[in-house]
């Protein structure tokens, strides 16, 4: 079946899923575009997995409708949906070798042996495991097992691939390597990937767009830079990266409105008290209360008023740990461009 390019891969129409009193997913509207790498990001219990399970068909909405390429699948069983899932625990068959694990989906469909071998070879190449066909899962590293799970899910060429925290079990370095690889594989195969994670850096690294979940609702949907540069709420500003929230009297004094705004630590410039900020810049005096030298950059805690601190990070372009640590107690002028603030409410 040809897809109409304007038909979304996935569409949620006021989807809710309640477990008794718990509103796991609460009136969610959502459109995922064909071919995009889409992440569902949020803290534990925010409803991401429940959304994914409803797309897969392992769970059903209490109310609302889910469309897959324009077809209402709300009441279709999992095997009648053209989606596949990769789980965090891989769920490989331990007694089968890599080749048999990857070929499983084609075996079930009675695809002839020769054809199967050809597709398995293609998949092994895609996930850079050529030469590992005869190994058992127990003879592979975590990252290699993850790639087998991916190959096994992709061999059926599903229209949508669902990934539930698939990198969660890997150590940080391998995880970062797999993030880049996964994104490259998605680009190559062109399949819509829906990726569930609670790791904001992971979502930002890989996604075309991100939905930020909080308590069963989506707080914001946008590109990684939208979410990071223009958080729509204080929850998003706080959950994605570090952010300073400024409200009340200080907000009024600097921006003319009491409405709370967020400003990212790396957007703030630390200057000397005698500086005259250029037009378009917002400035505040402060005192450096704490300095943490982190090699690549330094993190400063700067008090702008009794009990109100801003976090500022600066790259250590020229400074050394000695320079930055001696800054403690200094009076400074902070400034940032007015375009770099985001209004986040209240
Ligand atoms: P995590 O990152 O921890 O997996 P999540 O964002 O994926 O979290 P969900 O697993 O979707 O969150 O859970 C959302 C809410 O629904 C939680 O409060 C959870 O306890 C509840 N929940 C999920 N499944 C069930 C179930 N089968 N029965 C009762 N409550 C459930």
DSSP 47: S
The C-alpha atoms of residue 15 and residue 313 are separated, in whole angstroms, by 40
Average pLDDT over residues 32-54: 96
3 band by pLDDT with thresholds 50, 70 and 90: low
Rounded to the nearest 10 degrees, what angle do helices 113-126 and 172-189 cross at?
A: 130
The C-alpha atoms of residue 71 and residue 265 are separated, in whole angstroms, by 45
Which protein residue has the closest C-alpha to ligand 1 atom 22? 24
Q: Are residues 65 and 201 in the same domain?
A: yes
Q: Which atom of ligand 1 is nearest the CA belonging to 50?
A: 11
Alpha helices in 259-337 (DSSP H): 321-325
Average pLDDT over residues 243-251: 89
For residue 21, the CA-to-ligand 1 centroid distance in Å is: 12
Residue 225 belongs to what domain range? 10-239
Q: Answer whether residue 233 shows pLDDT above 70.
A: yes
Quick one: 180 exposed, middle or buried, by C-beta within 10 A (0-12, 13-18, 19+)? exposed
Q: How many separate domains does the chain show? A: 2
Q: How far from 331 is each of 138, 288, 302, 303, CA to CA, in Å?
A: 59, 7, 9, 10
For residue 217, the CA-to-ligand 1 centroid distance in Å is: 13
Write phi, then psi, for 313 (nearest 5 degrees).
-120, 140
CATH number for the domain spanning 300: value is: 2.40.50.100
**Is there a domain that residue 2 lies in?**
no
pTM here is 0.86
Q: Which atom of ligand 1 is nearest the CA belonging to 198?
A: 2
CATH number for the domain spanning 36: value is: 3.40.50.300
Residue after which a domain boundary falls, among 239, 254, 283: 239
pLDDT in the model for residue 69 = 95
Tell me the per-residue pLDDT of 158-187, one tens digit each, with 9 for 90 and over.
Answer: 999 999 988 887 788 888 888 998 999 999
Q: Are residues 143 and 269 in the same domain?
A: no
Q: Are residues 203 and 301 in the same domain?
A: no
Number of continuous H segments (helices) and E segments (strands) in the chain: 10, 18
Q: Are residues 223 and 271 in the same domain?
A: no
Which protein residue has the closest C-alpha to ligand 1 atom 16? 24
**Is there a domain that residue 277 lies in?**
yes
Q: Are residues 277 and 233 in the same domain?
A: no
For residue 342, the CA-to-ligand 1 centroid distance in Å is: 31
Mutate to test the pocket of ligand 1, among 17, 41, 50, 167 (most ligand atoms within 8 A of CB): 50
- Report the half-sphere exposure of 118 (CA within 13 A, side-chain side): 5
């Amino acid at each position: 079946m040809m897809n109409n390019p304007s038909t979304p891969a996935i569409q949620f129409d006021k989807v809710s899923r309640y477990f008794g009193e718990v509103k796991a997913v609460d009136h969610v509207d959502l459109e995922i575009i064909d071919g995009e790498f889409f992440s569902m990001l949020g803290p534990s219990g925010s409803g991401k997995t429940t959304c994914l399970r409803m797309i897969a068909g392992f769970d059903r909405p209490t109310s609302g409708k889910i469309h897959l390429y324009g077809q209402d699948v709300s009441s279709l069983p999992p095997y009648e949906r053209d989606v596949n899932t990769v789980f965090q625990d891989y769920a490989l068959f331990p007694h089968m070798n890599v080749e048999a694990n990857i070929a499983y989906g084609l075996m079930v469909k009675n695809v002839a042996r020769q054809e199967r071998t050809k597709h398995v070879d293609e998949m092994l190449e895609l996930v850079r495991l050529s030469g590992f066909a005869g190994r058992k899962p127990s003879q592979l590293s975590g990252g290699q097992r993850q790639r087998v799970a991916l190959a096994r899910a992709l061999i059926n060429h599903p229209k949508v691939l669902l990934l539930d925290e698939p990198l969660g079990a890997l150590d940080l370095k391998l995880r970062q390597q797999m993030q880049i690889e996964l994104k490259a594989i998605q680009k190559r195969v062109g399949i819509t990937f829906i990726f569930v994670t609670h790791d904001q850096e992971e979502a930002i690294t890989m996604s075309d767009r991100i939905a930020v979940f909080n308590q069963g609702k989506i707080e914001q949907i946008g590109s990684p830079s939208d979410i990071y540069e223009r958080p729509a709420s204080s929850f998003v500003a706080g959950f994605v990266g570090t952010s300073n929230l400024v409200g009340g009297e200080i907000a009024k004094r600097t921006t003319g409105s009491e409405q709370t705004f967020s400003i990212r630590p790396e957007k703030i410039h630390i200057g000397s008290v005698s500086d005259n900020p250029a037009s378009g810049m917002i400035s505040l005096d402060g005192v450096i209360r704490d300095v943490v030298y982190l090699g690549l950059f330094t993190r400063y805690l700067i008090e702008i008023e009794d009990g109100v601190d801003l976090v500022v990070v600066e790259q250590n372009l020229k400074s050394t740990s000695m320079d930055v640590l001696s800054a403690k107690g200094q009076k400074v002028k902070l400034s940032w461009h007015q375009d770099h603030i985001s209004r986040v409410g209240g």
